[in-house]
A = this chain, B = another copy of it.
Amino acid sequence: MTTQRKPRGPYRKGIQRREQILDAALEVFSRHGDRGSSLQEIADRVGLSLPGLLHYFGSREELLLAVIERRDVLDTESRTVKEEAEVRSPGEAVVRTVRHNMEQPGLVKLFVALSAAATEPAHHAHGFFTDRYRDLVLTIRKGLESGQENGEIRADANAEHMARLLLAISDGLQIQWLMDPSVDMAAIVETFNLLCQAAPDRESEPGR
């Protein structure tokens, strides 16, 4: 989906237009979710007609998927170097993402609906989501294994299982939170991180 060389001319203009639409869609969806959002509102925001908008994304479904992909990219890009350095474990990164998500209920709704629908192999987003889970499990597992090596994460629990637990928790808590907005997703993920910590010998740890 991305290109290594800098595109020029009309092609580049098309990419800029696409990003403009995505930014507008992200904002509209983050407030209203899938059901409450109209493509017309997004088209209006970027000064396009509805057919003009569909020229760039083909269908509502394709736009929804592109919004979720863009959310992932923004979530990674928005981390400053300082934040990256502060996030010492995959679990802490998930807390940070979850806290961010709690400000965007519309996008959470969209993600929940799309990931559920994409479990069908024939769904247009099936490939995206299977790749997404496979890649995330791998990245998180590696982070946890480093934590196991340096003594921060329990070594008696399977790292791939803990990675899949973190992802499942992040997905499953979204449903509980949408059902009951008083559920503090971030605090609950922090409890999971506590469970994954290596055998506490807190008295001897400095700064606790």
Contacts and interface: CB of A to CB of B under 8 A. Distances in A.
B161 A187 contact: yes
A188 B165 contact: yes
A66 interface: no
Interface stretch (A14-22, A23-31, A56-64, A111-119): A111-119
Interface string A106-129: 000100110111111000001001
Number of copies of this protein chain within its complex: 2
Given A194-B156, A196-B195, A169 B176 contact: no
Interface residues of A, number: 46
A148 to B, nearest CB: 13
Contacts of A169: 165, 168-169, 172
Given A109-B119, A191-B162, A176 B168 contact: yes
Interface stretch (A45-53, A71-79, A177-185): A177-185
Interface of A: 33, 35, 109, 112-113, 115-120, 126, 129-130, 133-134, 154, 156-158, 161-162, 164-165, 167-173, 175-176, 178-180, 183, 187-188, 191-192, 194-196, 199-200
